[in-house]
Amino acid sequence: MHLCYFDENKHTAENPVFFIGGLMIPDAKALEFEKTLSQIAFNFFGSRTLAVHTELHGKELFHGKGNAKGRKLEERVQVFQDVATFVTDNKIPVRMVRIDVLRHQQKYKYPTPPYRLGLMLILERFCEYLDTVDDLGLVFGDHEADEVTGAVVDFSEFKSQGKTPMYFGRPLGRLLDTVYFTQSHHSRFLQVADLLVYMAGRYETWADVPDKWHEQAVKSAWEKVKASGNLLVQRWP
């Protein structure tokens, strides 16, 4: 079985691109991988405890806010580099969906809301991978109060209908039960999903990245993930 973790960013009028994505962990490797991520957290926080004050959060790490406030820039950049190394060294499958919200709204008379569309597409991408390894999956998401109920209902509908409601929709039979949601500070894997989505949102959207060493260093971490051969980014529309 694979454990599939996803997170999403928030699109705005200034940045109308919605990203949703994450990673797939084989259950036989979950404990080993969890120890590795726990060590990355310990290196930064001095603690392996899963708590609000020890959560690795991409935006906060990059900008030195929240749990990363007052920390040296080199230490914050190192977390992105360590996570990229963890993903690439362990050949962890990463799937991303990039939705250009304005183009999507302009193309369709009745556009599907970005989160619902993104959820459909990321579940399809998870299933595509599970087909290649002939395995089943459980899906875990970051608990967002506004989205949880709708996502659970949507997932149930997709499964009961036999496939996602797209023109080229696909069955989700390899995904078991429901979508499980939890607070991201309770899961290092969800925190990795957050960092990956943050990097994707930053470097798969910007045409010109500022020529600052920390910006280039984090971009290089993302490029390392891209070069691994285990990343797929679907662009919509």
β-pairing, 94-100 vs 231-236, is parallel
3-state secondary structure of 101: helix
The pLDDT value recorded for residue 167 is 76
The pLDDT value recorded for residue 145 is 56
Q: Cβ distance 111 to 156 under 8 Å?
A: no
The pLDDT value recorded for residue 166 is 82
pLDDT in 10s for each residue of the chain, 237 residues: 999 999 999 888 878 899 999 999 999 999 999 999 999 999 999 999 999 999 999 999 999 999 999 999 999 999 999 999 999 999 999 999 999 999 999 999 999 999 999 999 999 999 999 999 999 999 999 987 567 878 888 888 888 888 898 878 899 999 999 999 999 999 999 999 999 999 999 999 887 888 999 999 999 999 999 999 999 999 999
> Which H, E and C letters describe 171-230, residue by residue?
CCCCEEEEEEEECHHHCHHHHHHHHHHHHHHHHCCCCCCCCCHHHHHHHHHHHHHHHCCC
The pLDDT value recorded for residue 184 is 96
The pLDDT value recorded for residue 100 is 97
Q: Cβ distance 236 to 99 under 8 Å?
A: yes
Residue 174 CA to residue 128 CA, distance in Å, equals 9
Residue 46 CA to residue 68 CA, distance in Å, equals 13
Nearest 5°: the CA angle 96, 102, 107 is 95
The pLDDT value recorded for residue 165 is 87
**Bridge partners, residue 19, by sequence:** 98
In the chain, what are the domains? Answer: 2-236 (3.30.420.10)
